[in-house]
Amino acid sequence: MPRTPGAALVLALLYLAGAPPAAAQDGEGPALPTAWQGEWEGTCRLAAPGGGARDFAMELRVAPVEGAAAWTWTMVYGEGEEKEVRDYRLVAAPSERGRFVLDEENGIRIDMALVGEVLYGEFEVGSSRIASRFERRGESLLVEMASYAIPEPRVTQDEGGANTVRSFRLASVQSGSLTRGASGGE
C-alpha cells in the first residue's frame, strides 16, 4: 500500500494507462458525435503564470468529410488583418473506437482521444509540450491548450527510488468558451 497520496496517484495513473475501458476495446467503427459538428465561435484568453494575458477571437468549424471517416477541423484565430486560418482534418483511427488523428495536412499528425464529451491530445513542438482539451458541454465547446516548458524539468523520486517523476513548468494556457454560431446545428 502506498505511503503517500502522491504515490497512490502515480500508481492509479500507471494502472489506468495500461487498462483501457471495455468500451475502448470493442473495435466498433469510431465516430465523432454529430453534436460536435457546426461552427463554434467565441473569445479565448492566452495567460501566463504570474500575470500577463491577452484575449482574441477564435472559431472552430467541424463538418463531416463525404465518403471518409473524417471531419474538417478548421481553427480560426483573430479577426481582420490578424486572422489566421488553420485547415486541419480529424480522422477516425480504424478499428479503435474513440481514437482520432488530427492531420495538419503538412506531414504533422497528432493523436487525439475522445473520452465522454472531451477530446484530448498532447504533443511536443520545439521546447514545448502542449496538452489540448476540447470539451463539449451543451451548446458550448470549452477549449484549453496548456503549454509546458520541456527544458530543465523538475526530476524527483519516491523514497524507495522505484519511481522517477519529471514535472514541467507551465508556460501559458490558452482557454475559452465557444458557442455554436448561427449557421451551426446538430
pTM of the model: 0.80
Which range marks the domain in which residue 159 is found?
A: 36-180
pLDDT in tens, 39-68: 999 999 999 999 889 999 999 999 999 999
User: For residue 72, what is the domain's CATH number?
Assistant: 2.40.128.20
Residues in the chain: 186
Instruction: Give the angle 44-45-49 at the CA atoms, nearest 5°.
Output: 150
- Flag whether 57 is in a domain: yes
- Flag whether 149 is in a domain: yes
Q: Report the domain count for the chain.
A: 1
- Flag whether 29 is in a domain: no
- Flag whether 164 is in a domain: yes
- Flag whether 24 is in a domain: no
pLDDT in tens, 88-138: 999 999 888 899 999 999 999 999 999 999 999 999 999 999 999 999 998
Cell of 147: 503549454
